[in-house]
A and B are shown apart, each in its own frame.
Chain A
Amino acid sequence: MENLIGLLVAAPLLGAALLLCGGRRLDGKGHYIGTALAAASFVIGAVLFADMLGRGEHDRALHSKVFSWIPVGGFRADVAFQLDQLSMTFVLLITGVGTLIHIYSIGYMEHDERRRRFFGYLNLFLAAMLLLVLADNYLLLYVGWEGVGLASYLLIGFWQHKPSAATAAKKAFIVNRVGDVGLSIAIMLMFTTFGTFTFAPVLTDVDNASEGKLTAIGLMLLLAACGKSAQVPLQSWLGDAMEGPTPVSALIHAATMVTAGVYLITRSGAIFESAPDAQTAVVTVGAVTLLFGAIVGCAKDDIKKALAGSTMSQIGYMILAAGLGPIGYVFAIMHLVTHGFFKAGLFLGAGSVMHGMNDEVDMRKYGGLRKYMPVTFVTFGLGYLAIIGFPGLSGFWSKDKIIEAAFAKGGTEGWILGGAALLGAAITAYYMTRVMLLTFFGEKRWVPDEAGNEPHPHESPSSMTIPMIVLAVGSVFAGGLFSLNDSFLKWLEPVTGHSHGDSPLSAATVTAGTMVVLVIGVALAWAQYGRRPVPRTAPRGSLLTRAARRDLLQDDFNHVALVKPGQYLTRGLVYVDHKLVDGVVNGTAAGVGGLSGRLRKLQNGYARTYAVSMFGGAAVLIAATLLMRAV
């Protein structure tokens, strides 16, 4: 069984290699190869899962060493995989949702002449993400981490002929790089502190390290997680990443990439538990981001950007839960899985809408689409109900638990975090209802574009609708299934541990509170967008709305605080380089050149002149010798 773990990564990696090196010969069938290998990885994952269920709770983890990567003296780094319940959960989510997105892309990218390459990148993405969650040490995890960064860059900038897409890809890559620096510093600190970076020794040895060091490692890991999971302050790339094809957004937001930060923090839980300051930083980042993303999501008219704000907010919930310690780990991962279902479904639904609307993304130009796209409407609607936490659907089970856990943190902190999570739930209900109403309800608001092409909204082909249906089923039932007999809790507990905490509010009170804010959020959205006709151009809006449309000024802040000083610095350096360094170099060169120009005149080609200089030289030598003798 252990040998199968390597195959999990190898299958999509082989797909990427085949499709990217295979050339045009594979253009016709490349997408089938890519999808088949992703599905193969899912099947292997399912086999391993069945095998794992057959074993006792405490010996479910598998370990497989593939080869010794860097054996240098006392330093050892192995390519070795570790498959425990936590990794298994991720493997099934990544390969399962990933495969569905592959299938969807067959239809969505049908008219793109670079479809083979697209599937190669998708496979690369899956392989990197699987490597990330299967690695048994932080260095190998880092390899996967960077692979994910590379694949996201390639995919966000897939339509690189659009300057906006090329810029968005660069932005995502650079912002991620900032986080990557955090991870590499964390790994170095781990090596100096523990002498190794394999999970098992590092995470069991935390008691022997000083709290200061652990806090430093924790903060660096948090920085890494912020970059990959688009958390404040490294969140700015996520909105622009919508420039990529829609399946890429679904893949980034649901199955891969942004979940990496949650995985990293959950996996490194032992470090954070011994460093309360780092833990406080994690929950703060989570709480701030869940509100930030939700507010941004309220103001966006671009359907994909509204969903992007929503992802940021939902990942904020997960980071918050992961920062709560053993009270929250299980729910962070549970929300991650349910979110994987409904967010992938929502993005694929958004893609289906765009597919039918000539790639229009402005929701103010949709309206009344439920009649034209019934399947998309129903699947999107189920995803919507799941994300706002409608009782019984997936999001309800997982988000409710996170809010409960936030209150259970205890003290003032617990009240603040719980309050933020509740407020976030209200805003979530508001902006998702807004998306729903603007897109599928009300009057039709689309008109022919300048070229006179009127959109003819139509249902998408079955290759696109089937994945959406599967994901909708997941969005409806996954949460309930996980909560039945606390099955998900029992499944993950041996790895992450769990404690109930001591909540000032009873579970029923929290659920009731969640329901109340849910109703308020939906009602507000209905009052604003359901009751009255929606204007085709956005009204000016309040100050907050305008700020939220500009992503709460995140880019302006980055521009003023980071880009401008950076530009001044580089300009200064260029000036010094130009004037000082170049001056010295060029001056020396000019001096030598001038001198040689003079000396060159001595070479006049007349043999007699040379003879004179020879005699002169000889005379000087003789005179010198005589003088020395005389003295």
Chain B
Amino acid sequence: MNPVNYLYLAALLFTIGAAGVVIRRNAIVLFMCVELMLNACNLAFVTFSRLHGNLDGQIIAFFTMVVAAAEVVVGLAIIVTVFRSRHSASVDDASLMKL
């Protein structure tokens, strides 16, 4: 199978994730969309690693996973705290930072 197809898939997944981030309001869904974008990137990295025949891309994919795991921990904690105080997980409700 042509490895380029994986790149198309990665682009598609990234677009879905980005669209989700922009369109959806629920913080949890937003979060999942961010994960989708990260994993699309991982897929692209791995594909390029395969195309170029070296391991650089795969190493970076691991790094991304570690960073993503850390980010999930911090992010979920923030979301839970916001939910507790505002009884809502909608990002539009937390729009206090404006003039």
**A interface list, Cβ under 8 A from B:** 600, 603-608, 611-612, 615
Contacts and interface: CB of A to CB of B under 8 A. Distances in A.
Given A608-B91, A608-B92, A603 B21 contact: no
A608 B98 CA distance: 13
B99 A606 contact: no
A600 B97 CA distance: 12
A624 B22 CA distance: 23
Contacts of B94: 607
B75 to A, nearest CB: 12
Interface of B: 18, 21-23, 25, 91-92, 94-99
A603 B22 contact: no
Contacts of A611: 21-22
Contacts, number: 26
B99 A608 contact: no
B22 A604 contact: no
A615 B96 CA distance: 22
Contacts of B95: 604-607
A606 B22 contact: no
A611 B34 CA distance: 11
Contacts of A615: 18, 22
B18 A606 contact: no
Contact of A606 (B21, B23, B92): B92
Contacts of A608: 21-23, 25, 91-92
A600 B91 CA distance: 21
Contact of A605 (B21, B22, B23, B97): B97
Contacts of B25: 608
B98 A605 contact: yes
A218 B45 CA distance: 94
B91 A603 contact: no
B78 to A, nearest CB: 12
Nearest to B96: A605
A600 B92 CA distance: 18
Contacts of B91: 606-608
Given A608-B25, A612-B22, 8 more contacts: A600-B99, A605-B95, A605-B96, A605-B98, A606-B95, A608-B91, A611-B22, A615-B22
Contacts of B22: 608, 611-612, 615
Contacts of A607: 91, 94-95
A615 B23 CA distance: 13
